[in-house]
Amino acid sequence: MTVLSGIKIIEIEGIGPAPFCGMHLADLGADVIVIERPGAPAFGDSGNTTITKRGKRIIKLNLKDNDDKTRLLKLVEHADGLIEGMRPGVMERLGLGPDICCEINPKLAYGRVTGWGQDGPLAHAAGHDINYNALSGALWYSGKPGDPPFATPTIIGDIAGGALYLTIGMLGAILQAQRTGKGDIVDAAMIDGSAHMMNLILSLKATGAVSFERGKSVLDGPHWFDTYVCSCGGFISIGSLESKFYSLLLKHLDLSDDPDFRDQMNTGNWPVQKSRLTQIFKTKSRDEWSALMEGTDVCFAPVLHPGEAAEHPHIKHRQIYQTIEGNIEAAPAPRFKSQNPKTSRKNSVPTNVNQILKEWGHA
């Protein structure tokens, strides 16, 4: 048994956040059925080994065909949830919008993920992760003062602000249906989610610790919260925010008695302090700095690409990454004490509507 055993989810084929949400639900044990269109595969689709397809089953249906649409609606009648990532109005034009699906199945959790949301002046405009993050304010602090903010591909908007908020919304709507007998329509917009994730920073803004002027805040300006290049060309990260961690950083760098570094929170000193640390960290390799500070309360970590990360002792101990048919992928998260995190990966497999209805007890 898994935490979502018995939960039945229909996923309408798409790219980005909706498939990721479906993978997440499948990782937690839900029975996720992907409805794919016949013909060319979707962007990023490498067949049944596609990471976001793991643990799912596939049914090929042409949703513009009335017979196939009827088959899908039969599944909808008995599902707990449906997720889709189309532009607003597409599912309605197909005759598969929430008005129809939720009338057929009032307990249905109907999940929709888009960039701009289901309504608003930009709802029908094209966009990508970088655009939603830019407009929500989430991109503002990514970069140095005076430089353009840099993109963080897919992670903040598509995944964190989109897929994970859709996952949370689906679980909430399914719980509501179990409690009240009535599901809900989930509008998971990446611009909403990426803005919502700003609330911790906005809380710090209220205390004066964060400024809307880039480079002047405790998390985007100081020398003790940044990344640095090493003599080998690799990078390290330092996050010595609390005073006790900062003192330990200075101790490891033999700077405890250096007057330039005594006043941690004096923003006027940060440029000089950062310049000095930049030169200091260039004197050793990434591995040498790791040997000196990793595992201490300096709040230190080397900056690794995913292939390197997979070989790190901590990552290997927790079996966070695994290699499947030559490709690296991350294990399910979060973990549950009652479940084995070492469960082997399951590729997606083809099926059909009759088989699913039989398994769901509605043949």
Residue with tokens 């088959």: 71
Structure tokens at 58: 């596939």
DSSP string, 25-53: HHHTT-EEEEEE-SSSPPTT--GGG-GGG
Question: How many helices and strands in the chain, by DSSP H and E?
Answer: 14, 12
Residue with tokens 């000095």: 276
Which positions are catalytic? 128, 158
Contacts of 281 (CB under 8 A, 6+ apart): 228, 229, 230, 236, 289
Cα–Cα distance measured from residue 63 to residue 53, given in angstroms and rounded to the nearest whole number = 20
Cα–Cα distance measured from residue 74 to residue 210, given in angstroms and rounded to the nearest whole number = 52
Q: Tell me the backbone φ, ψ of residue 300, rounded to 5 degrees.
A: -130, 145
Cα–Cα distance measured from residue 259 to residue 240, given in angstroms and rounded to the nearest whole number = 18
Q: What angle do CA 263, 255, 248 make, to 5 degrees?
A: 80
Cα torsion 24, 28, 34, 40: sign: positive
Q: Residue 283: name the closest of 227, 232, 225, 222 by CA.
A: 232
Structure tokens at 40: 């060319």
